[in-house]
Structure 1
Amino acid sequence: MARRPNFLVFVTDQQRADWLGCYGHPTLRTPNIDALAARGTRFEDFHVAMPVCMPNRASLLTGRYPSIHGLRYNGCVLSERANTFVEVLAASGYRTAAIGKSHLQPFTGQPPKGQLSAETGPIEEAWKPDPVTYEEEEPDTYSSDQPYAIRTPYYGYQHVEMVTGHGDRCGGHYGQWFRRRHENWRELHDPANELPHNYQCPQAYRTPVPEESYPTAWIRDRAADWLRVQAGEEDPFFSFVSFPDPHHPFNPPGRYWSMYEPDQFEVALPYEAHRNPPPPLRHLRDRWERNVPEEISQAAFYADEQALREAMALTAGMTTMIDDAIGDVLAALEASGRAEDTIVIFTSDHGDYLGDFNLLLKGALPLPAITRVPFIWADPKDPVRRTCSDLASTIDIAATVLEKAGVKPYRGMQGQSLIDSIGGGEGPRSALLIEHHDGGARMGFNEPARVRCLLTDRWRLTFYKDQDWGELYDRQADPQETLNLWDDPEHASVRSELTERLVHMMMSTMEESPRATRLA
């Protein structure tokens, strides 16, 4: 009987597809990830289910859209009632592990900002409170210096080593380890002790935390150790290795801070390149001109060219550090003797505007910079290099892994297997849906934005709830999406046809689980 494949999944945080050498970046050095692409399948048109951390991570694990699995925007939780494909693997005999950032539950302990609330009666919500307390990623859970014993299985993971937060001051198991390792940890985390630099970019921070104690290095070491333990095991494994970088703040440690210079980078798509900017883009430009800062550090903002170049240089440093870490983890996989049976996957939870139209971070405008992410599938049993142009989505990862593992999915999974695409055949999709539900009113919207986006190989159509404007772009003639055809009379029929198609696709995403148990 053939041995079932292992899976080693690398996930980065806030990394757009074109920020890898193998995706054509002219400056960024990512030799280890490029080597994966050189022996596998690299998807060119792979998009998230939603370009926000928590919802899309839940979509990856469930194979379902955020509007269905319930983690609709950051600050919600993925209910423990929800099944994940990792649970399916575990039930079929796989050893499962998550090392690094999970973010299926809130990890800040802070109340939401900008959230609009309607007046309610004696019962506040449509659903009764969940009897489960979701505190596995909360800061107070890790207040002790002794390793917290997380309740497992955690969404299917039997082994969990948690990292919460971003930048150099992450929490979780990493935070506990950091406090034990460094008696002067308060000094290392004190902003007053930032190392000197001349960068002016918002959220650029030169950390005094040593390279070997930075979250990326800790995740590297813990993942490598876990793989070494698998050397003598017979059961197949699934390992999810998730880095909090290159998400802002922009703070690569040590040599990675100065590895790249701002002058090496170009703002290739400035604000002026858009011939009829949509209202949110104009709104952010106006705030910048009036020197009005954003209220929260997670909100998209407009920046000048120098700030953008600096953000790019520091993002590149964080990304190369991740690439170096991946090289070390792959070396540990090779040393374990299980590399020949292990499929390696690389992807990200969403992208970053990172200079497009002078924007940084992410928001309700579903530009390719934040919806298009890398997806690489490297199977040692099929070492043929391929570039796949099929449309594909984060929700397809679950179905793809399960098919390769020879395990049936559960009812209600909305993703489709990409195994045929990976093998050079025809893909399962002619269009895909991208959702967005904002947790607060931002980017000029009077209420939290509700967005639905339809992608085909030719078009992007986007509707914004209760707005008298929308977006229509010709992805072939205008791949950088610089001319909105929404109001163009010559494209009225295209808009109408795509609108009907979007309606049908939204109808097809209704909840199908559980099935009926009786005749009516």
Structure 2
Amino acid sequence: MIPLRCCGLLLATLAATFPAPAKAAERPNVIVIMSDDQGAADAGCYGATDVQTPALDALAGRGVRFTQFYSAAPVCSPSRAALLTGRYPWQVGMAGNGSPPPSEEHDNSDAFGGRGLPVDGFTMARMFQQAGYATAHIGKWHLGIGVGTQPLQQGFDYSFGFLGGCIDNYSHFDYWGGPNRHDLWENGRRVRLPGKYFPDLLVDHAAEFIDDHGDRPFFMYFAINVPHYPYQGEPKWVDYYQQQGTPYPRNLYAAWLSTLDDRLAALMKHLDDRGLRENTVVVYQADNGYSTEQRAHNGGGSSGRYRGAKFSLFEGGTRLPAVLSWPGHLPEGEVRDQLTHGCDWLPTLAELCGVEVDASLPLDGESLVDVVRSADAPTPHDAVCWRFQDQWAVRQGRWKLMHQPRGYDKSPQPELVDGKWFLADIDADPSEATNLAADHPEVVEQLRRLYESRYATNRGD
């Protein structure tokens, strides 16, 4: 249990009376951190006892930790698209993963098209840019490589990282489509830094951007590519987990996750050293559950008590670590159990920063400010939905209906009613151990109708 730093009632009162800044120069900075393929239970503050994550635990100690936070998808690109747009991913053409990076014969990624965010679409970065913020993308993109879909064309003033889904962290070549797909870019141009450890490059470029923009507020999307495969943890952490006797492949995954945590610590220290921590809102979210792919040594992560992993619409694929921290302005060391969602960050940050959002925008997210300020506030969601390939799910209150779900973990494939339906009572059975579809056909029908009437249009597949 993380101790409260001060009285929750006092903090809630301060938060409720804190005025929205009128001028851009007075607005807080914002850093949105997205980890990659992190298991639902893989942090000390989420119950893990065999991995070291002191920086993430400290961030939760200085903020609000969510226990029913859901990403918008069980894979990388759709989850990221939802975070940046505030919309369900299929509504912005990102129902699946983005295009692979350009090959070596193309030095300019403008030469490529493929799947990506809508050209001239609305993103969190553009929202902050229009409000006078300096904006930066640092890390993984995976949201398009063609004209109009790259970071600088989606509201970012600066971009450093890779465009595809995963890279080798020393050579910076794509880990899927090699051997001729070098994938490291700065402001849309290929850069070559062979041998430089990518997690360190991310912190260095993030710190430089922070230092270069002290004259106005900044927004940074820090999309670190850890603990996504390849597992290339720092030697000190590889040695540590070997000495602890951590079994394979958990030892490799844990070393990689602790490597992430060290970079989070370095980023937070840089804010502290510059006197910016109490003027910076920090969001932390995992994009989807841990991977059981062959390139991930068939596992290593943990969903804890939840069924499912990456690619799955069971809880382990989408119910993930998430923290919101703004010391001195929002509660600290507190937990929120309300249902919250990856689309919610855009309207939440807009409200906290006093940034306007066009009321005509069809956002699927809702502001979480009331939830953050009070444990008694209701969830802003009547229902939420997920869709990936032939799986879909809808949750309303205690009930969650899934169509053709698969676990992608080591648990047995569950029996489905009529070969396609799984109904869970999440309040009573968060592990989704029991299929109640046969016992409650009226609930199945109600949620099926809800899905078809509210979510089944504009597929964007």
TM-score for both structures, normalised by structure 1: 0.67
Report the secondary structure of 1:97's partner residue: strand
**2:364 aligned with 1:451, yes or no?**
no
Aligned amino acid, residue 99 of structure 1? I
The aligned amino acid for 1:249 is P
Out of 294, 298, 317, the position equivalent to 1:370 is 317
Q: Give the C-alpha shift of residue 360 in structure 1.
A: 9.1
Matching of residue 318 in structure 1 with residue 301 in structure 2 = no
1 CA distance for matches of 2:378 and 2:95? Answer: 31
Q: Is the 8 A contact 1:97 1:159 kept in 2?
A: yes
Partner amino acid for 1:454? Answer: V
SS at match of 1:226: helix
Question: Structure 2: how far apart are the matches of 1:352 and 1:90?
Answer: 33
Distance 1:81 1:162 in 2: 21
Q: Which residue of 2 aligns with 1:386?
A: 334
Aligned match for 1:352, one of 290, 307, 311: 290
- The one-letter amino acid paired with 2:395 is L
Alpha-carbon displacement from aligned partner over 1:69-121 (angstroms, at most 9, x marks no partner) = 01221132112231112101111111111111121115xxxxxxxxxxxxxxx
Q: Residue 436 of structure 1 corresponds to which residue in structure 2?
A: 388
Q: Please name the residue that 2:217 is paired with.
A: 236
For residue 401 of structure 1, what is the aligned residue in structure 2? 349
One-letter amino acid matched to 2:129: A
Deviation track 1:305-349 (CA, whole Å, cap 9, x = no partner) reads xxxx42322111111111111111111112222222111111121
Q: Which amino acid aligns with 2:197?
A: Y
Could you tell me which residue of structure 2 aligns to residue 5 of structure 1? Answer: 28
- The 3 A distance-change label for structure 1 pair 482 and 358 is closer
Change (3 A) 1:461 1:262: farther
Partner of 1:90: 129
**1:414 matched residue in structure 2:** 364
Verify the 8 A CA contact 1:227 1:336 in the aligned structure 2: no
Q: Does the 8 Å CA contact 1:400/1:419 hold for their aligned counterparts? A: yes
Partners of 1:16 and 1:505 in 2: CA distance: 30
1:393-442 deviations in Å (ceiling 9; x for gaps): 111111111111212223122211111111113320143111213xxxxx
Contact 2:398 2:427 in 1 (8 A): yes
Give me the whole-angstrom Cα distance separating, in 2, the residues matched to 1:158 and 1:226.
10
1:240 is aligned with what amino acid?
Y
Which residue in the other structure is 1:218 paired with?
201
Q: Which string of whole-angstrom CA distances, capped at 9 and with x for unpartnered residues, describes residues 143-193 of structure 1?
A: xxxxxxxxx7331110111234234243313883423xx5xxxxxxxxxxx
Change (3 A) 1:262 1:348: farther
Q: Does the residue aligned with 1:257 lie in a helix, a strand or coil? A: helix
**Structure 1 pair 27–40 and aligned structure 2 pair: CA distance change class (3 A):** same
Give yes or no for the alignment of 1:502 onto 2:451: yes
Given residue 501 of structure 1, which amino acid in structure 2 is its aligned partner? L
Q: Which runs of 5+ in 2 are unaligned?
A: 1-20, 100-114, 173-182, 292-300, 406-417
1:264 Cα deviation from its structure 2 partner: 5.8
Structure 1 gap ranges (5+) = 107-131, 137-151, 183-212, 266-308, 438-449, 512-520
Residues 1:252 and 2:252 aligned together? no
The aligned counterpart of 2:429 is: 478
Report the alpha carbon displacement of residue 65 of structure 1 after superposing the two structures with TM. 1.0
Change (3 A) 1:264 1:476: farther
Query: 2:126 & 2:132 partners in 1: Cα distance?
Result: 10
Distance 1:261 1:482, change over 3 A: farther
Distance between the aligned counterparts of 2:223 and 2:262, measured in 1? 14
User: Which amino acid is the alignment partner of residue 461 of structure 1?
Assistant: L
- Checking the alignment, whether the CA contact within 8 Å between 1:61 and 1:84 is kept in structure 2 is yes
Residues 361, 159 of structure 1: alpha-carbon distance in 2 compared, 3 angstrom cutoff: same
Residue 331 of structure 1: which of 259, 269, 279 is its match?
A: 269
Q: Percent identity?
A: 28
Q: Supply the distance in 1 between the matched residues of 2:372 and 2:44 (Cα, whole angstroms).
A: 20
Q: CA deviation at 1:261?
A: 4.1
- Of residues 495-504 and 61-70 in structure 1, the stretch that sits farther from structure 2 once superposed is 495-504
Contact kept? 2:306, 2:430, Cα under 8 Å: no
Assess if the C-alpha contact under 8 Å between 2:313 and 2:392 holds in 1.
no
Distance 1:384 1:135 in 2: 37
With structure 2 as the length reference, what TM-score do the two structures score?
A: 0.75
Structure 2 CA distance for partners of 1:503 and 1:264, relative to 1, 3 Å: farther
User: Equivalent residue of 1:462, what SS?
Assistant: strand
Report if the CA contact (8 A) 1:454-1:502 is conserved. yes
Post-superposition shift, 1:66? 1.7
The answer (yes or no) to whether the contact 1:17–1:351 under 8 Å persists in 2 is yes
1:173 aligns with 2:185: yes
In structure 1, C-alpha distance between the alignment counterparts of 2:203 and 2:212, rounded to whole Å? 15
Total equivalences in the alignment: 378
Distance in 2 (alpha carbons) for counterparts of 1:315 and 1:456? 34
Question: Whole-Å Cα distance in 1 between the matches of residues 226 and 289 of structure 2?
Answer: 11
CA distance in 2, matches of 1:361, 1:428: 26
Distance in 1 of aligned mates of 2:432 and 2:315: 8
Across the aligned residues of Structure 1 and Structure 2, the Cα RMSD in angstroms comes to 2.8
**Structure 1 residues 485, 360: CA separation in 2 closer, same or farther (over 3 Å shift)?**
closer
Corresponding residue SS for 1:390:
coil
* CA distance in structure 2 between the aligned counterparts of 1:172 and 1:154, rounded to whole angstroms: 17
Q: Is the 8 A contact 2:331 2:373 kept in 1?
A: no
Q: Which residue of 2 aligns with 1:208?
A: none
1:481 Cα deviation from its structure 2 partner: 1.6
CA distance in 2 between counterparts of 1:10 and 1:432 reads 23
Q: One-letter code of the match for 1:26?
A: T
**Contact (CA 8 Å) 1:343, 1:378: kept in 2 or not?**
yes
Is 379-388 or 342-351 further displaced after alignment? 379-388
Shifted more, 350-359 versus 337-346: the winner is: 350-359
Match for residue 157 of structure 1? 156
Aligned with 2:87: secondary structure?
Answer: coil
